[in-house]
Homo-oligomer: A and B are copies of this chain.
Amino acid sequence: MEITIEKLKELTKDVVLLEHAIATLSWDQETYMPPLAIGERGEQLALLQGLLHEKITSSEIGKLLDDLGADEDNPAGQLEYKAPIDRAYIKETFRQYKIQTRLSTKLVKDLALETSLSQAAWIEARKKSDFTLFQPHLEKVLNLTKQKAEAIGYKDTPYDALLDEFEPWSSTQEVSNIFDSIQPWLTDFLGKIYNAKQVDDSFLLKDFDISKQEAFGRKVLEDMGYTYDRGRLDVSVHPFTTTLGGNDVRLTTRYQKDFFKTGLFGIIHECGHGLYELGFNENLKGNLLASGTSLGIHESQSRTWENVIGRSYSFWKYYYPILQKYFPENLNNINIDEFYRGINKVEPSLIRVEADEVTYNLHIILRFKLEQELISGSLKVKDLPEAWNKKTEEFLGIRPKNDANGVLQDIHWPMGAFGYFPTYALGNLYSAQFSSVMEKEIDVSGSLENGNLINILNWLREKIHSHGASKTAEELALGITGEKLNPEYFKNYLENKYKQIYTI
């Protein structure tokens, strides 16, 4: 039995190595690759993706999983093992093997081709703010995505199969229940804020020298425990974190000269993802469990650092005097209370990536509902822009004036990533739930006031990072907080914070 598991680990090691090689090519594409190289880079990536598919679906892996008794009903195998980590390993391998063997090479290739064309069309359509240019592509991608869901299989609804890719072992029904319970509350809470005295953040829109933004951002990054012997920070059009190796987790950000928040909170957010990837236990290294357990849990880490920590009053008690030294001309006349309120300003906006903590989840729930309707067929692609605009008005009280600021703003659908959006909101909810326990177990505000960010990292590392994918999202929540995901924590978090900021 031991031998079988060791063999399985050996075979899947190549899968991890190929994933990291692919990540290297993708990172290069987004950072340093010369523009005309894009065509062949696509072919290189397609080849490696194909080889990865061959590796994970190899008959040797199938045979070993069979020998271990892993099947649909018992993904972790039917035999007794000494270590729960071995059960987790078999379960994760079976999950990936199952999905990949069910996808035909033809479907994988068709999806790769169509999503590539669709992303190109989307860029053009967004530039011209004209959904009709993108519509036929989205129809094709949607059609292939439905085929994909049918091929993978599901319990209740095709969306289950799609969601599982990003949030394994969760279900559409559970996510729906949670979202339905917070959406009206959020819209209502937003109304209260909207009726209160508004916050002034005009000082954040002044001229912030980019090299100083970077220098301050790197200071915070280093204080968070991120080190350049195992990572890098570069610039890209869209910020991201990517894992090129167990000791190679890289971040990117972008800076806006006239909007301070983009650069710094982008860095802190991505570093939250990066620290998760850098914190797996040694015994997971190089295998399939050396990975975030779900995108929701991943986002909980970036959001904890960005919002719970990075947008907290205690954090800025330590960092604001330092920041003022970087930008005296903009900040010397702004006191910490004004600054704190400014960076936490709540405002219904059209663009998800610019949204504050209160409105952000509404952007997500909107997308979650629309993509479910698209998958079920109750909403036609041609009717999507109108449905988008209507729901934006319903949730946020404002209406996009054009497609670029509405339905065309995100890359997820063009790239065929249906089922991805909800994980952003789940991340916010998990973050609040985990943080409530962290605040009981360690002196969070005291640590922050002393610039001791490592205290926070250590707690997150012990409770979350170290486990990698050896515990599911639900197992983590149960282990740390004693209950499954519960949106009440998030509501409490928002209430405590924003009632004070907006004196409501």
Contact = CB atoms under 8 A, between A and B. Distances in A.
Contact of A245 (B32, B44, B48, B232): B44
A44 B49 CA distance: 14
A107 B14 CA distance: 20
Nearest to A37: B248
Contacts of A250: 34
B28 A24 contact: yes
A41 interface: yes
Q: What copy number does this chain have within its complex?
A: 2
Interface in A253-290: 286
Contacts of A48: 21
Given A40-B245, A40-B286, A41-B245, A229 B47 contact: no
A40 B36 CA distance: 29
A232 B21 contact: no
Interface size class of A (residues with CB under 8 A): 35 or more
A17 interface: yes
Given A28-B28, A32-B232, A232-B34, A14 B247 contact: no
A120 interface: no
B21 A247 contact: no
A327 interface: no
A79 interface: no
A231 interface: yes
Contact of A229 (B21, B36, B43): B36
A129 to B, nearest CB: 27
A35 interface: yes
Contacts of A185: none
Interface in A221-255: 228-232, 234, 244-248, 250
A353 interface: no
A303 B309 CA distance: 57
A244 to B, nearest CB: 7
A482 interface: no
Interface in A42-74: 43-44, 47-48, 51
Contacts of A480: none
Nearest to A285: B40
Contact of A247 (B37, B47, B228, B234): B37
Interface in A77-122: none
A250 B28 CA distance: 12
Contact of A40 (B20, B28, B47): B20
Interface of A: 14, 17-18, 20-21, 24-25, 28, 32-37, 39-41, 43-44, 47-48, 51, 228-232, 234, 244-248, 250, 286
The 10 closest A-B pairs by CB, nearest first: A37-B248, A40-B245, A36-B247, A37-B245, A36-B229, A17-B47, A21-B44, A37-B247, A17-B44, A36-B230
Given A33-B244, A33-B248, A34-B229, 12 more contacts: A17-B40, A17-B47, A20-B40, A21-B21, A21-B44, A21-B47, A24-B28, A24-B44, A34-B232, A36-B229, A37-B247, A39-B247
